Structure 1
Amino acid sequence: MSALKERGVIRSSNNPVADYTESLVSKVLGLSLVGQSQAGFDATDPSGRRYQIKGRRLTAHNTSPQLSAIRNLDQRPFDFLAAVAYDTNLSVLYAALIPIEVVAELSRFSKHSNSHVLIFRRNILDNPRVTNITQSLAAA
């Protein structure tokens, strides 16, 4: 973990998949990462659009593509969700840019976590409002 942080691959001592995903997506899409204390989004593009970035590593023991909590969705804290599903070895399985409107339609509110929950299944890529970024990320 220390070596990854020194190399700039991760930014914190949190889940390394989250930091790695932020690094990968921002590099490939030309986004600027914001400070770690910024609530609601992780990066911005040159036009000022805000991106929440989430990754999920699927394993033999946990095949659920449920992303981590999406908070305050009703306040529109981001414009796009960049979601990435990885295999056990952190190879990109599929990835997408999902407009917040689609996130709102496909997620459900969980009272338990006081957040929205999105199950990032591969068929989300079939939605015409979603941009498939799998090849770009996998090539990086």
Structure 2
Amino acid sequence: MRAAHDDLSRASVPELLGRYAAILAELRDRGVVRTRNAPLGDYAEYLTEKVYRGTLEPNSVKSYDLIDADGRRIQVKARTVGPDTGAGAVFSVFRSFDFDIAVLITFDSATYALREAREVPVAELETAGRHSAHVNGRLIRITAGLRLGVDVTARFRAVASP
């Protein structure tokens, strides 16, 4: 049974994720984990589903994460960003381009607060970044990705509120 101070049912989603970020930071300091990205992908897909009024695809679908209300196939890539994020940091690798648009989202690494969201057509992504044989795909630096497409941050902020 949980103690009264452990009741998380009244906490907002950003508050819960902020607490989780603090736990991950402590685990990282102790050398238990190496990153802070664990729940990030799922949260980004959740927000994208709300913004685009879409339907999430099963995890077994490799090329895209959801189909929006207009029938577009959307690939979601998310990354936490903080003061210690290096200039060469990248979104996770693009191994296929069998989708219509990608949504690139950054979150604050300490609080999981939404920082920026970009909607990028697949054609723009296919020529951006660099191919890496090591990971067999195209790598897009965060700084480059956040200059692509159109800014949809306001739409994401509207659904990220509790």
TM-score range, shorter chain: 0.7 to 0.9
The alignment yields a C-alpha RMSD, in angstroms, of: 2.4
**1:84 equivalent in alignment to 2:108:** no
Does the C-alpha gap of structure 1 residues 111 and 122 become closer, same or farther in structure 2, counting only changes over 3 Å? closer
Select 1:103's aligned residue among 121, 125, 142.
125
Unpaired segments of 5 or more residues in structure 1?
A: 8-13
The alignment covers a number of residue pairs equal to: 124
Question: After the TM superposition, which parts of structure 1 deviate over 2 Å for at least 4 consecutive aligned residues?
Answer: 59-65, 122-125
- The structure having more radius of gyration, on CA atoms, is 2
* TM-score using structure 1 length: 0.78
User: Counterpart in 2 of 1:34?
Assistant: 57
1:1-140 equivalences under 5 Å are 15-64=38-87, 65-72=89-96, 76-88=97-109, 89-121=111-143, 124-125=146-147, 127=148, 130-140=149-159
Shift of 1:40: 0.6
User: Counterpart in 1 of 2:19?
Assistant: none
Does the Cα contact within 8 Å between 1:41 and 1:52 map onto a contact in 2? yes
Does the C-alpha gap of structure 1 residues 83 and 49 become closer, same or farther in structure 2, counting only changes over 3 Å? same
